[in-house]
Amino acid sequence: MKKTALIYGLLALTMGTQAQTLVECQRAAEQNYPLIQRYGLIEKTTELTVANTQKGWLPQLSVMAQATYQSDVTSWPDEMKTMMAGMGVEMKGLKKDQYRVGIDASQTIYDGGAISSSKTIAREQGLMQVAQTQVDIYNVRRRVNEMYFSLLMLDEQIRMNKDLQTLLEGNERKLESMVKSGTAAGSDWQSVKAERLNAMQQMTSLESQRRMLYAVLSRFCGMEVRAVQKPNATMGSGTVNRPEMQLFDSQLRLADAQEKALDAAVKPRLGVFVQGFYGYPGYNMFEDMMKHEWSLNGMIGARLTWNIGALYTRKNDKAKIQFQRNMIENSRDVFLFNNSMEQLLQNENIARYRKLISADDEIISLRSAVRKAAESKLSHGIIDVNDLVREINSENAARIQKSVHEIEMLKEVFDNKYTTNN
């Protein structure tokens, strides 16, 4: 029973400390980043804009009410008034105070493609905002990379610090025995012990930095990150697949949609309309001049309009859109140029680190041999303990240097992946 419980305990501990990969941290950070919510907001805003634009095909209604008082109105000639008065007919004429309450309705039949162009522009603007959001979220990966590789570096430093402490502790015990046997001075043992305590202090600082960085990375990813692991150093193809490229394409498509809208602006519009009102005077003015009564009045018709004012600025508007295209293409060229320069520097750094790492193993082997020889010499009283400590530190520095080169090369490889996104 105890054995089974121990097995389950070990499994739980293993699962709890399972290392997160760099890709897992990147994906978690992107999903946890507050900017991710903008996708849904953009989609909803675009849908509402397109829906509102589509309502341009619905009948347009307006209700009006007005009351006016005029300085003069249409009236009968005096001769006619006199003649009609002789016949017993009173010619009142129009009243100067006039009133009407009515409704106007119009229906677009042909708009030259203006509504369709507006919907296309709204969709392209939404896609451009999505592309810009993708660019902003993609930048999260660089921040994750910085923290992730800093943790890998700290893990390596902590591992080597433990090895250093083990090595110093072994020599410390050996010197303690030599002091007891009278073959070494007490100051030699104290010197090695001081070096071990110094290494312990460094371990305390390193572990504190690691705890802090794990806390920050966990908060950034929205999940608890307890361990990291070295990713495989595989180079990408070098082809640039950054989200900025989709952003440039989206900006160009928006310019195309705006140019088509200019074509729609110079086309005529055709629609039908209905007007009706209740008031005084109505359309039958002669009858209203005879009797002052409110009446129902209506009108139906078709209207063709052509705003030729759009032709005045058409040439300049098209030139402005072409300049926008040129600026977008220029921005793309600048981005690709800077991107190629980054790749050039990163590839050169990767090649440099590979050469350094190839020499690190030999340096470590030599430093290890020298350190072992120093330990033997100390045992025979040929050198003092300061020489041994110096050789131990030199070997440890060589091991640290190799780990630094390896982690920095890995970081350059993944910085290159970030630069190209492949």
| Cα–Cα dist 189/378, whole Å | 12
Helix segments in 222-308, DSSP class H: 243-265, 285-290
What pLDDT is stored for residue 13 in this prediction? 42
**Contact indicator for 358, 399 with CB cutoff of 8 Å:** no
Mean pLDDT in residue range 239-260:
94
Q: Give the percent of the chain with pLDDT over 70.
A: 95
Mean pLDDT in residue range 159-165:
90
Q: Is 99 helix (H, G, I), strand (E, B) or coil?
A: strand
- State in Å, rounded, how far the first CA of the chain is from the last one: 51
| Cα–Cα dist 236/339, whole Å | 14
Q: Is the pLDDT of residue 230 over 50?
A: yes
Q: Is the pLDDT of residue 5 over 60?
A: no
Q: Is the pLDDT of residue 249 over 60?
A: yes
Identify any residues that bridge with 61 across adjacent strands, giving them in sequence order: 105
The pair of structure tokens assigned to 175 is 């010197």
Percentage helix, strand, coil, to 5, in the chain?
70, 10, 20
Residues ≥6 apart with Cβ < 8 Å to 365: none
Mean pLDDT in residue range 121-150:
94
Distance of CA 339 to the CA centre of its chain: 18
What pLDDT is stored for residue 101 in this prediction? 95
Q: Is the pLDDT of residue 16 over 70?
A: no
Q: Is the pLDDT of residue 8 over 60?
A: no
For the stretch 163-201, pLDDT in tens is 889 888 888 888 788 888 877 778 878 888 898 999 999
What pLDDT is stored for residue 12 in this prediction? 40
- In this structure, the chain runs to a length of 422
For the stretch 204-214, pLDDT in tens is 999 999 999 99
Q: Is the pLDDT of residue 298 over 90?
A: yes
Q: Is the pLDDT of residue 324 over 80?
A: yes
Sign of CA dihedral 59, 60, 64, 70: negative
Q: What's the pTM value of the predicted model, to 2 decimals?
A: 0.78
Rg of the chain taking only CA atoms, in angstroms: 43
Residue with token string 């993708």: 134
Q: Give the percent of the chain with pLDDT over 90.
A: 55
The pair of structure tokens assigned to 350 is 């990767």
What pLDDT is stored for residue 152 in this prediction? 93
Which band of pLDDT confidence, cut at 50, 70 and 90, is reported for residue 18? low
What pLDDT is stored for residue 136 in this prediction? 93
Q: Is the pLDDT of residue 2 over 70?
A: no
Distance of CA 169 to the CA centre of its chain: 51
Q: Whole-number mean pLDDT of the chain?
A: 87
From the list 70, 71, 75, the residue with the least C-alpha distance to 285 is 75
Q: Is the pLDDT of residue 1 over 60?
A: no
Residue with token string 């050469």: 355
CA distances from 275 to 103, 286, 303 (A): 6, 21, 13
Sign of CA dihedral 288, 291, 293, 296: negative
What pLDDT is stored for residue 290 in this prediction? 81
For residue 303, give the H/E element and its range.
strand 295-305
| Buried b or exposed e, range 318-354, using 16+ CB within 10 angstroms | eeebeebeeebeeebeebeeebeeebeebeebbeebe
